[in-house]
Amino acid sequence: MENFVGIITGCNALTGIGRATAYSIAKKNPKAIYVTDIKDSDLSTLAKDITNTTGVECIAKRVDASSDEDIKGVIDDAMKRYGRLDFFYANAGIGNAKSMAEQTKEVFTEMMVNNTWSVFAAVKYASAAMEITSSEKPKSAGSIVATASIAAARSGAGSMSYAASKAAVVNICQTGAWRLHGKNIRVNAVCPGVIETEMTRPLLEAIAKDPRKQRLAKLHTALERYGKPEEVGAMVAFLISKDASFITGQAITVDGGATAALPYLPLFADS
Q: Which of 3, 29, 39, 243 binds ligand NAD (CB under 6 A)?
A: 39
4 contacts: CB under 8 Å, gap ≥ 6: 30, 31, 86, 87, 240
82 is catalytic: no
Catalytic choice (23, 34, 82, 162): 162
Q: To the nearest whole angstrom, how small is the minimum distance from the Cβ of residue 126 to ligand NAD?
A: 15
CB proximity list for 104: less than 8 A, separation 6 or greater: none
CB 21, CB 237: distance < 8 Å = yes
Question: What angle do helix axes 118-130 and 68-82 make, rounded to 10 degrees?
Answer: 30
Residue 194 makes contact with ligand NAD by CB under 6 A = yes
According to DSSP, the residues that pair with 33 across neighbouring strands are 6, 58
Q: Count of residues binding ligand NAD (CB under 6 A)? A: 30
Site string for ligand NAD, 113-132 (x = CB under 6 A): -x---x--------------
Binding span for ligand NAD by CB under 6 A among 75-83, 87-95, 179-187, 204-212 = 87-95
Question: CB–CB of 171/124 below 8 Å?
Answer: no
Binding mask 4-23 for ligand NAD (x = CB under 6 A): -----xx-xx-xxxx-----
Dihedral over Cα of 218, 223, 228, 229: its sign = negative
Is 255 near ligand NAD (CB under 6 A)?
no
Q: Which is nearer to ligand NAD, 31 or 113 (CB)?
A: 113
165 touches 117 (CB < 8 A): no
Q: Which residues bind ligand NAD (CB under 6 A)?
A: 9-10, 12-13, 15-18, 37-39, 64-66, 91-95, 114, 118, 147, 149, 192, 194-195, 197-200
